[in-house]
């Protein structure tokens, strides 16, 4: 695939940029589902991924020298808003959102040259291998082990809650490389081809009855020695930096903004839109969303300037996920008995209270549960004493 | 629009100069001593503030002002709120803003205190009906002028222009109600009261939006400092052999306060940027309401949680946290309650928030 020429969109006015995105989406969105409540699989969303890549718009958050857009925070938000407005599917973006920024910051030149273009081309589809059955909120307790044998790492263990793991052909993992030191100090960051011998994947059905999650098993999996990112045993530090990115991304107002539109549609459908009691509750949520967006922009701006994301990003993660849930709860309430439907109301995917409600549940669990986030906030930001 | 570096430098200077009014060590003895005294504020401090140009912060150069933006004004108001500053800067700056180029020199110099008497009711931004003008006199009523006991005159916006009336003019009655923060709310009755000066109708709504946003910033400063005092208490106060701040029941509530404070900060900053930037001016009242609704609720949340976390000492008048509680109770509903701003926000945004 020829590389698209870099086109700097930052000089456009916000309104012109918005219109450019809107036009592009309307003219180019492929024949795949819109307003889907579930994450689409790679075989479904790949056409959209490739269209974005051809336009040079796949990685708005990456610097131009790596094929990104180097886009301002405000314009990144506008882009997301326009995608949401049209109901565009979310692409498999773990490589773009999570791994790309980490490689750009910590990877060797050879790693950047090899991996980044392959993310853009879609040749590599990434999954994240962090959580394990006994390392959830206590992520530093990972037990998946990597041992250096000559020029290869040999990996044994199990990862779980791997989102869209069955679509991926590469996975980045946190693996234990030293058992003799403090748990955080013995973890390395490795890049593993899932096509290698010894990797097996099993899907898990979630509460929405979708197979988005996976378990990934590693049984004497051998990878090249240079598929280590950063130094041996520095994986925790890098992953924490990446978690900052993840929490900014999870803190995006996108989910809540999307849910609020659905809440409004449901309110109109159920004839409560003009009820003043409903409207006051709606306006509170609307204001929460507007302030979340204001806070989110300050973090996206930090990312864009290349500033480190501190532990205060937990604020964003907690508030976004809990706001998303509160919106979904009001939607479930006003849906009346239709709240129990497995299928959407009137066949409109946006009028699906149960799906919205269920989709909102794990957001306060993954990427660090709200309870752990509050603990981190108290310890690392407020300086409150430990028990 | 000045660039971000210039604004940053202006903010640094104005926050530095605010230290002459708000002690950096958080000492509140001045605030305590002025409570329920004649004026409730110190005229000499008020003059100092005027000499630093704060009354004319938002006025253009040609009116003798500093021509600064809302980002600078909000930075100043935040420091004043953190120090519970009782001098009625926002009300006085609003009066100057309403009078524009006609504001007298002695008023800008702080020699004569002129406060805005704009309010028709107790909880919203209505100003059009209270007072009418007729042949050089003003008749009607205005409510809730803060620190009105210290005013030499009032600037009254009406549909026919902004009228200035002397506080001692015949036909002017001022009913003072003591307020929780140690000041007073002035209820003004005018019966054919002689007008000293009339200025052609200004954009009163725009001026009120600026004062509303500045009040949100004041409440942000207040909430931030009250939270910091409470956080320090959680660290030092021990029960059951441990600092109470190590108990998760209190930690998670402290986290929730911090979340609301940072949302307020982002909301106020985004609003100030919208006033200063080239964004659609119709967004200004939307943003002002957004920030004020959040700031009022945050200040009251922090106030009540602060009392609870201090325990019984928090319920005594000698504990400084009470000064924050009582100021929050007094200021949270000025320039419109949270409910008023939610209603206004809803009516101004028929579509989900343009973010």
pLDDT of B353 above 60: no
Domains along chain B? 4-108 (1.10.540.10), 115-199 (2.40.110.10), 204-348 (1.20.140.10)
Q: Give exposure, A218-256, as e/b (b: 16+ Cβ within 10 Å).
A: beebebeeebbbbeebbbbbbbeebbbbbbbbbbbbbbb
Which residues of A are less than 8 Å from B243 in CB distance? 384-385
**A386 in a structural domain:** no
Query: Which range, of A241-250, B23-32, B103-112, averages the lowest pLDDT?
Result: A241-250
Instruction: Say if B313 is an interface residue toward chain A (CB within 8 Å).
Output: no
Domain C-terminal end among A91, A111, A141: A91
Q: Do A165 and A226 lie in a common domain?
A: yes
Q: Do A151 and A39 lie in a common domain?
A: no
Residue of chain B nearest A384, judged by CA positions: B245
**A98 in a structural domain:** no
Q: Do A374 and A258 lie in a common domain?
A: yes
Q: Do A332 and A270 lie in a common domain?
A: yes
CATH at A221: 2.40.110.10
Instruction: Say if B349 is an interface residue toward chain A (CB within 8 Å).
Output: yes
**A113 in a structural domain:** no
* Of B218, B207, B171, nearest in space to B334 by CA: B218
Q: Is A367 helix (H, G, I), strand (E, B) or coil?
A: coil
**A15 in Cβ contact with A23 (< 8 Å):** no
A246, A297, A301, A343: the active-site residue: A246
Quick: pLDDT tens for A39-98: 899 999 999 999 999 999 999 989 999 999 999 877 887 898 899 889 899 999 999 988
pLDDT of B351 above 60: no
Q: What is the DSSP letter of B197?
A: E
CA distance A132 to B52: 61
How many structural domains comprise chain A? 3
A327: pLDDT confidence band, cut at 50, 70 and 90? very high
Name the residue range of residue A279's domain: 251-381
Q: Do A80 and A46 lie in a common domain?
A: yes
Q: Which residues of A touch B (CB under 8 A)?
A: 77, 81, 253, 257, 260-261, 264, 279-280, 282-284, 286-295, 297-298, 312, 315, 318-319, 371, 374-375, 377-378, 381-387
Q: So what's the pLDDT on residue A33?
A: 92
Q: Do A335 and A269 lie in a common domain?
A: yes
Percent of chain A with pLDDT over 70: 98
Residue of chain A nearest B258, judged by CA positions: A315
**B80 in Cβ contact with B55 (< 8 Å):** no
Question: Under 8 Å CB-to-CB from A46, ≥6 apart: which residues?
Answer: A122
Residue of chain B nearest A277, judged by CA positions: B343
Q: So what's the pLDDT on residue B1?
A: 58
Q: Do A269 and A343 lie in a common domain?
A: yes
Q: Do A359 and A278 lie in a common domain?
A: yes
B65: pLDDT confidence band, cut at 50, 70 and 90? confident
Domain C-terminal end among A205, A234, A263: A234
Angle formed at CA A4 by CA A171 and CA A301, multiple of 5 degrees: 65
Residue A337 annotated as catalytic: no
Task: Give the pair of three-digit tokens for residue B11.
Answer: 């903010």
Percent of chain B with pLDDT over 70: 98
Query: Which range, of A46-60, A191-205, A230-244, A255-269, averages the lowest pLDDT?
Result: A230-244
Q: Do A144 and A222 lie in a common domain?
A: yes
Question: Under 8 Å CB-to-CB from A108, ≥6 apart: which residues?
Answer: A226
Q: Per DSSP, what are the bridge partners of residue B137?
A: B134, B194
CB contact under 8 A, B266 and A295: yes
Q: Give exposure, A136-152, as e/b (b: 16+ Cβ within 10 Å).
A: beebbebebbbeeeeee
Quick: pLDDT tens for B160-198: 999 999 999 999 999 999 999 999 999 999 999 999 999
A242: pLDDT confidence band, cut at 50, 70 and 90? confident
Quick: pLDDT tens for B5-17: 889 999 999 999 9
Residue of chain B nearest A295, judged by CA positions: B266
Distances (CA, A) of A317 to A148, A249, A282, A373, B314: 36, 8, 21, 8, 32
Q: So what's the pLDDT on residue B258?
A: 98
Q: So what's the pLDDT on residue B293?
A: 98
User: Tell me, what's the ipTM?
Assistant: 0.93
Q: Do A86 and A3 lie in a common domain?
A: yes
Quick: pLDDT tens for A104-131: 999 999 999 999 999 999 999 999 999 9
**B298 in Cβ contact with B219 (< 8 Å):** yes
**A158 in a structural domain:** yes
**A108 in a structural domain:** no
Distances (CA, A) of B98 to A54, B43, B65: 55, 22, 13
Identify the residue whose tokens are 């590389």.
Answer: A3
A3: pLDDT confidence band, cut at 50, 70 and 90? low
Task: Give the pair of three-digit tokens for residue A111.
Answer: 């790693």
CATH at A315: 1.20.140.10
Quick: pLDDT tens for B194-217: 999 999 877 999 999 999 999 999
Residue among B234, B246, B258 whose CB faces A386 most closely: B246
CB contact under 8 A, A378 and B255: yes
- Mutate: best of B216, B259, B278, B295, partner A, most A CBs <10 A: B259
Q: Mean pLDDT across the stretch B51-61?
A: 92
A17: pLDDT confidence band, cut at 50, 70 and 90? very high
At residue B170, what are phi and psi to the nearest 5 degrees? -65, 140
Domain C-terminal end among A207, A234, A261: A234
pLDDT of B354 above 50: no
pLDDT of B352 above 80: no
Instruction: Say if B355 is an interface residue toward chain A (CB within 8 Å).
Output: yes
Q: So what's the pLDDT on residue B280?
A: 86
CA distance A357 to B13: 49
B355: pLDDT confidence band, cut at 50, 70 and 90? very low
Q: Do A144 and A224 lie in a common domain?
A: yes
**A242 in a structural domain:** no
**B220 in Cβ contact with B298 (< 8 Å):** yes
CA distance B306 to B304: 5
Q: Do A337 and A274 lie in a common domain?
A: yes
B279: pLDDT confidence band, cut at 50, 70 and 90? confident
Q: Per DSSP, what are the bridge partners of residue B141?
A: B189
Q: Mean pLDDT across the stretch A328-356?
A: 95
**A107 in a structural domain:** no
A292: pLDDT confidence band, cut at 50, 70 and 90? very high
């Amino acid at each position: 695939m020829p590389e698209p020429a870099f086109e700097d969109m930052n000089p456009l006015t916000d309104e012109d940029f918005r219109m450019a995105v809107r036009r592009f989406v309307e003219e180019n969105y492929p024949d795949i589902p819109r307003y889907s409540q579930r994450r689409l699989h790679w075989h479904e969303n790949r056409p959209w991924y490739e269209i974005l890549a051809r336009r040079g718009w796949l990685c708005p958050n990456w610097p131009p020298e790596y094929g990104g857009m180097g886009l301002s925070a405000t314009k990144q938000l506008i882009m997301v808003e326009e995608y949401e407005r049209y109901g565009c599917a979310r692409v498999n973006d773990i490589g773009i959102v999570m791994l790309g920024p980490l490689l750009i910051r910590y990877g060797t030149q050879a790693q950047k040259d090899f991996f980044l273009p392959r993310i853009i081309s879609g040749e590599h589809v990434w999954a994240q291998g962090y959580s394990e059955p006994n390392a959830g909120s206590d992520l530093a307790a990972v037990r998946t082990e990597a041992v250096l044998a000559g020029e290869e790492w040999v990996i044994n263990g199990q990862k779980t809650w791997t989102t869209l793991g069955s679509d991926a052909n590469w996975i980045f993992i946190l693996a234990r490389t030293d058992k003799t030191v403090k748990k955080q100090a013995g973890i390395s960051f490795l890049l593993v081809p899932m096509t290698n011998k010894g990797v097996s994947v099993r899907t898990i059905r979630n509460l929405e009855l979708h197979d988005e999650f996976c378990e990934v098993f590693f049984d004497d999996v051998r990878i090249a020695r240079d598929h280590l990112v950063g130094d041996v045993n520095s994986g925790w530090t890098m992953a924490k930096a990446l978690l900052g990115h993840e929490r900014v991304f999870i803190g995006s107002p996108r989910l809540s903004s999307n849910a609020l539109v659905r809440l409004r549609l449901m309110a109109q459908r159920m004839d409560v839109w003009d009820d003043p009691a409903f409207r006051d509750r709606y306006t509170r949520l609307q204001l929460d969303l507007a302030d979340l967006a204001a806070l989110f922009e300050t973090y996206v701006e930090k990312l864009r300037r290349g500033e480190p994301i501190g532990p205060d990003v937990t604020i964003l993660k907690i508030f976004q996920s809990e706001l998303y849930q509160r919106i979904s709860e009001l939607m479930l309430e006003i849906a009346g008995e239709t709240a129990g439907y497995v299928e959407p109301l009137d066949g409109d995917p946006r009028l699906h209270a149960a799906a919205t409600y269920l989709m909102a549940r794990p957001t306060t669990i993954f990427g660090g549960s709200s309870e752990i986030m509050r603990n981190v906030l108290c310890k690392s930001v407020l300086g409150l004493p430990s028990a | 629009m000045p660039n971000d570096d210039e604004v940053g430098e202006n903010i640094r200077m104005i926050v530095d100069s605010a230290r002459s009014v708000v002690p950096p060590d958080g000492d509140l003895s001045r605030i305590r001593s002025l409570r329920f005294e004649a004026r409730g504020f110190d005229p000499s401090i008020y003059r100092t503030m005027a000499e630093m140009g704060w009354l004319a912060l938002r006025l253009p150069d040609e009116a003798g002002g500093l021509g600064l933006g809302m980002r600078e004004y909000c930075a100043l108001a935040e420091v004043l709120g953190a120090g519970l500053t009782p001098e009625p800067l926002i009300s006085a700056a609003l009066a100057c803003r309403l009078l524009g180029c006609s504001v007298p020199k002695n008023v800008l110099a702080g020699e004569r205190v002129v406060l805005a008497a704009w309010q028709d009711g107790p909880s919203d931004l209505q100003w059009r009906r209270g007072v009418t003008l007729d042949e050089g006199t003003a008749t009607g009523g205005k409510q809730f002028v803060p620190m009105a006991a210290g005013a030499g005159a009032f600037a009254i916006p009406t549909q026919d222009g902004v009228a200035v009336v002397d506080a001692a003019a015949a036909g002017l009655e001022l009913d003072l109600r003591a307020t929780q923060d140690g000041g007073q709310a002035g209820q003004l009755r005018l019966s054919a009261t002689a007008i000293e000066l009339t200025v052609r109708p200004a954009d009163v709504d725009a001026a009120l939006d600026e004062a509303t946003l500045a009040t949100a910033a004041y409440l942000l400063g207040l909430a931030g400092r009250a939270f910091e005092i409470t956080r320090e208490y959680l660290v030092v106060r021990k029960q059951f052999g441990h600092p109470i701040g190590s108990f998760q029941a209190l930690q998670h509530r402290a986290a929730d306060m911090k979340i609301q404070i940072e949302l307020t900060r982002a909301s106020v900053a985004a609003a100030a940027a919208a006033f200063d930037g080239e964004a659609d001016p119709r967004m200004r009242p939307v943003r002002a309401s957004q920030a004020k609704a959040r700031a009022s609720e945050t200040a009251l949340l922090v106030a009540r949680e602060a009392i609870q976390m201090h325990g019984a000492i928090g319920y005594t008048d000698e504990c400084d946290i009470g000064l924050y509680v009582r100021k929050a109770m007094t200021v949270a509903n000025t320039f419109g309650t949270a409910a008023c701003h939610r209603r206004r926000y809803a009516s101004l945004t028929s579509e989900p928030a343009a973010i």
